Chain A
Amino acid sequence: MSQHIVTGPERSRGDALLEIHGLCVDYGQGSDAVHAVTDVDLVLHRGEVLGLAGESGSGKSTLAMAATRLLREPGVITAGEVRLHYDTGSVADLLEAGTGALRVLRWSEVSLVIQSAMNALNPVMSIRTQLTDALAAHVPDMSRRSRRDRAVELLGMVGISADRLGSHPHELSGGMRQRVMIAMALALRPQIVIMDEPTTALDVVTQREILEELIDLRDRFGFAILFITHDLSLLIEIADSIAVMYAGRLVERASAQALFRAPRHPYTLGLLHSFPALHGPRVPMTGIPGSPPDLRMLPSGCVFHPRCRFALARCADDAPPLAATGTGGRVVACWLQHPPESAPTELARPEPGLEAWAPPATADGQAATQGGSAA
């Protein structure tokens, strides 16, 4: 069934697909505006799984929704550009696009899977209608029959039998609904699929099954995924690279393994130490002291400094710029990395070479990883 699904001919992994530059998003306007996303730069490459990690209020969903112009009122984009690269080589700035242009590129270039599939599927419409109406809107000359065939094919891709076409969402389990959402997202073979906490509401076994299928589909069709979640430990397993957000700002971006083995930002380090391990000796861990800040009353300087155990005097006054560090295009916004030699040992671990990387199978290795947090 997959034979006639063609992945784009000239697609090569690694080209920039979606470039976000200096994006700023507010909720509300004027003096009560809340700055939900501030000056974010992010690039999604062809075929890449880019993880966007952060806690509630970090702006990760807002960023993704704003970049696709789907953010609701009172959200407003106040600065930046979002460039979408087509297969043909042409480029569109989504922030300058009009209604018609946006409608054409939606779903055919960028599709979306959101958290709770119960709410993302229309409760009074059949699965078939919801699978085929995007086809009908974007491929007007497609016959009713071939739309149906495509819907069957899509369901097959996510392991759901064709007899579910006539079902309504309430007749499916949570996992099935999320599979339908994924199938729907792939209907027009988009280059980009944005996934906003796609598995958070699911049980861990179902979550794992769906992630496996997802990565499998990505390998077959080569689309890129912007994967948004608060679960950093999950992201490290499935993402190629990860961007960490805090209070609306990007604080660190690196390849998944580099971020995991050698975090450069104290917040990333803290997050990594907020997930207890499944193996090895049990060691006390502390998480991060304090709470995420209220976006209405952000601290001065580096927004993370009140919770940072390494904070320097200047952190309270100056916001650190997002600066390149190490190799592989990783960036970090932290004064501790200026210069990198001055960083505390926990934040200066050697980066793993991707080729030379070997699984640290021993319990000792894990203990060492966690040692930093045991303070």
Chain B
Amino acid sequence: MAVGIGTDRATGAASAPGSLPAAGGRSRAWRLPRSPKIIVGLVMLAVFVIIAIIGPLIAPYNPNVSFANSSVPLPPSGAHWLGTTALQQDVLSQLLSGGRSTLLVALIAGVIATALSVIIGVTAGYLGGLADDVLSMLANIFLVMPALPLLMILFGFLGHSSADNDLVVALVISITGWAWGARVLRAQTLSLRNRDYVDSARLIGESNWRIIGTEIVPNLVPVIASSFLFTVLYGVGTYTAIAFLGYVNPDHWSWGSMLFYSQEVNAETSGYWWWFVPPGLAVAFLGTSLALLNFGIDEFVNPRLRAAGLSGHPSRRTRGRTRQSFGQTAVIRADRGRP
């Protein structure tokens, strides 16, 4: 992923305090970001993707099968590592089977919503004028309207059966999820549109489509990636919420529906933590992996956001004695072998 950032620009003759002649900053634009956040995020996400793919296959039991007639969930044991539900189904098996639909729906929703936001955001930003006014208005309306009540009224009228279909659910989620990306992309496009290199392309006679395709969109890649991750994150949360509310077919295992069933018998007030904690943590960690990746991209776009402790390798010497504090440049006497 070779991406350059529009904001990354040397200041020319004006030398601001603390800004180096931009060489270092500029070459950064071409390196694969390797911040710990991105690595941790990628590893976590990879684990979830693997679970989504092979989870149902490696599940020790059929998640629908009841093992006993008791209505009291069993805590974790050798036979059921994560215990059982009130119907005596194996929690681990449900957990392993539930990742696929969550990830799939979120992914589809992310793709559709991102496509929508790129088309609408870039068009609005590049065209400007009335098209921009109308499209921005539309995006802002979708942003302001609270998504969950809208989804609930939609599913209320659609009836629960329609929520069985992953594609329909993904579609409905993407309708409520595109606006944020469109707004961000519009703003970025607007600033790119007035970049000198876009004017330069226009000056040599490039067509509008070529300019959008080769000058603008490639420079939006980090923003699009971040918007995509954000939408997938939103999709995970929303799908889980819908399933939690019981609008997804009960045969269709997902982490949200596990939480739905545990809530049905008040697992949280009965102390059956092994039932709701695993799916909840799975959703939270899946979300965390996406959020970390997003954070990494943000830091990549704007290196100033980096936490000093997590990136680069600050000298151990300084950490003990003189911590850098704002408005008081550190003095670290070091023999650097003067020429």
Whether A and B touch (Cβ < 8 Å) is answered with: yes
**What is A's interface to B at a CB cutoff of 8 Å?**
24, 26-27, 29-30, 33-36, 38-39, 55-58, 60-62, 64-66, 69-79, 95-96, 99, 102, 114-115, 196-197, 200-201, 230, 292, 294-296, 319
Residues in A neighbouring B339, C-beta threshold 8 A: 38, 319
A57 touches B315 (CB 8 A): no
**Residue from the list B13, B326, B333 in contact with A55, Cβ < 8 A:** B13
| Contact assessment for B325 and A26 in the assembled complex, using a CB-CB cutoff below 8 Å | no
Q: Which single residue of chain A is at the shortest CB-CB distance from B326?
A: A72
A77 in contact with B332 given A38-B338, A296-B23, A319-B339 (CB within 8 Å) = yes
In the complex with contacts A38-B338, A73-B324, A95-B331, A29-B18 CB distance below 8 A: no
A115 touching B14, Cβ below 8 Å = yes
Once A56-B12, A79-B334 are accepted as A-B contacts, the answer to whether A99 and B325 lie under 8 Å apart by CB is: yes
Question: Across the interface, which residues of A come within 8 angstroms of B18, CB to CB?
Answer: 27, 62, 65, 71-73, 75
The reply to whether A72 and B17 form a contact with Cβ atoms under 8 Å apart is yes
**CB-defined contacts of B14 to chain A, threshold 8 Å:** 56, 115, 197, 200-201
Contacts of A26 in B (CB 8 A): 336
> In the docked arrangement, what's the CA distance between A58 and B313, Å?
26
The closest CB in chain B to the CB of A96 belongs to B331
B16 at the interface (CB under 8 A from A): yes
The answer to whether A70 touches B21, judged by C-beta atoms less than 8 angstroms apart, is no
Contacts of B336 in A (CB 8 A): 24, 26, 33, 35, 78-79
CA distance in complex: A35, B337 (Å): 11
Contacts of A78 in B (CB 8 A): 331-334, 336
Instruction: Write 24 A-B pairs (CB below 8 A) sorted by A numbering.
Output: A29-B317, A29-B334, A30-B315, A35-B336, A36-B20, A38-B338, A39-B338, A55-B13, A57-B21, A58-B15, A65-B18, A65-B329, A69-B329, A70-B329, A72-B17, A72-B329, A75-B18, A79-B338, A99-B328, A102-B328, A196-B17, A197-B14, A294-B21, A295-B20
Q: Is the CB of A29 within 8 A of B324?
A: no
User: Other than the known A71-B329, A115-B14, what 8 A-B pairs have Cβ atoms closer than 8 Å?
Assistant: A29-B318, A39-B338, A60-B15, A69-B327, A69-B329, A72-B17, A79-B336, A197-B14
Does any Cβ of A come within 8 Å of B147's Cβ?
no
Partner of A76, one of B13, B326, B330: B330
Most buried by A among B15, B24, B315, B336: B15
* Bound CA–CA A62/B18 (angstroms): 6
**By the criterion CB–CB under 8 Å, are A295 and B338 in contact?**
no
Taking Cβ atoms with an 8 Å cutoff, the residues of B that contact A are: 11-18, 20-21, 23-24, 308, 313-315, 317-318, 324-336, 338-339
Give the CA-CA distance A200 to B335 in the complex, in Å: 36
Residues of A within 8 A of B12 (CB): 56
Interchain CB contact under 8 A, A295 and B21? yes
Which 9 residue pairs of A and B lie closest in terms of their CB atoms, listed nearest first? A57-B21, A56-B15, A29-B315, A71-B329, A65-B17, A72-B18, A77-B331, A61-B17, A69-B329
B15 CB contacts on chain A under 8 angstroms: 55-58, 60-61, 197, 230
> Closest Cβ of chain B: how far from A71's Cβ, in Å?
4
A65-B329, A77-B329, A296-B23 known; A70-B338 Cβ under 8 A: no
Q: Which residues of B sit under 8 angstroms from A201, Cβ to Cβ?
A: 14
Question: In the complex, are the beta carbons of B333 and A75 less than 8 A apart?
Answer: no
B17 and A62 within 8 A (CB) = yes
Residues of B close to A196: CB separation below 8 A: 17
CA–CA, A72 and B313, complex, Å: 17
Distance (Å) between the CB of B240 and the closest chain A CB? 40
A76 CA to B330 CA, complexed, in Å: 5
B329 contacts A66, C-beta separation under 8 Å: yes
A31 to chain B, nearest CB (A): 10
Cα A319 to Cα B338 with chains together (Å): 10
B308 contacts A73, C-beta separation under 8 Å: yes
Residues of B within 8 A of A102 (CB): 327-328
Do B17 and A56 touch (CB < 8 A)? no
Which chain B residue shows the least CB distance to A68? B329
Q: What's the minimum C-beta distance from B332 to chain A, rounded to whole angstroms?
A: 5
Contact A24–B20 (Cβ < 8 Å): no
Q: B331 — which chain A residues lie within 8 A by C-beta?
A: 76-78, 95-96
In contact, A29 and B332 (Cβ under 8 angstroms): yes
Residues of chain B lying within 8 A (CB to CB) of residue A296: 23-24
User: Which residues does chain A contribute within 8 Å of B13, judged by CB atoms?
Assistant: 55-56, 230
Give the residue of B16, B315, B335, B338 whose beta carbon is less than 8 angstroms from that of A115: B16
A115 (CB) vs chain B CBs: closest residue: B14
Complex Cα–Cα for A215 and B285 (A): 63
Min CB distance, B304 to chain A, in Å?
A: 10
Closest Cβ of chain A: how far from B16's Cβ, in Å? 7
A166–B134 alpha-carbon span in the complex (Å): 39
* A201 to B13 Cα, complex, angstroms: 11
A27 with B20: in contact, given A39-B338, A56-B12, A78-B336 (CB under 8 Å)?
yes
| Known contacts A292-B21, A296-B24; A76 and B328 CB within 8 A of each other | no
Cβ–Cβ < 8 Å partners of B21 in chain A? 56-57, 292, 294-295
Which B residues are in CB contact (< 8 Å) with A319?
A: 339
- Chain A residues lying within 8 Å of B23, measured Cβ to Cβ, are 294-296
- The chain A residue sitting closest to B21, CB to CB, is A57
Which chain B residues border A200 with CB–CB below 8 Å?
A: 14
Bound-state Cα–Cα, A248 to B47, Å: 49
- Cross-chain contact A29 with B314 (CB below 8 angstroms): yes
Interface centre among A24, A29, A65 (most CB of B within 10 A): A29
- Shortest CB–CB separation between residue A258 and chain B, in angstroms? 26
- A34 CA to B21 CA in the complex, in Å? 11
Residues in B neighbouring A33, C-beta threshold 8 A: 336
| A71 engages B17 (CB within 8 Å) | yes
Smallest beta-carbon distance A134→chain B, Å: 14
Residue of B nearest to A82 (CB): B331
Q: Specify the chain A residue showing the minimal Cβ separation from B318.
A: A29
Q: With A and B bound together, what is the CA distance between A71 and B17 in angstroms?
A: 7
| List of B residues within 8 angstroms of A35 by Cβ | 336
Asked if A79 and B333 sit within 8 Å, CB to CB, the answer is: yes
CA distance A30 to B319 in the complex (A): 13
Q: Which residues of B contact A64 (CB under 8 A)?
A: 17
In the complex the two chains form, what is the Cα distance from A30 to B13 in whole Å? Answer: 28
CA distance A30 to B335 in the complex (A): 11
Known contacts A29-B314, A296-B24; is A70 also within 8 Å of B334 by CB?
Answer: no
B107: shortest Cβ distance to chain A, in Å? 39
Measured in the bound complex, the distance between the Cα atoms of B13 and A38 in whole Å is 21
Minimum CB distance partner of B10 in chain A: A56
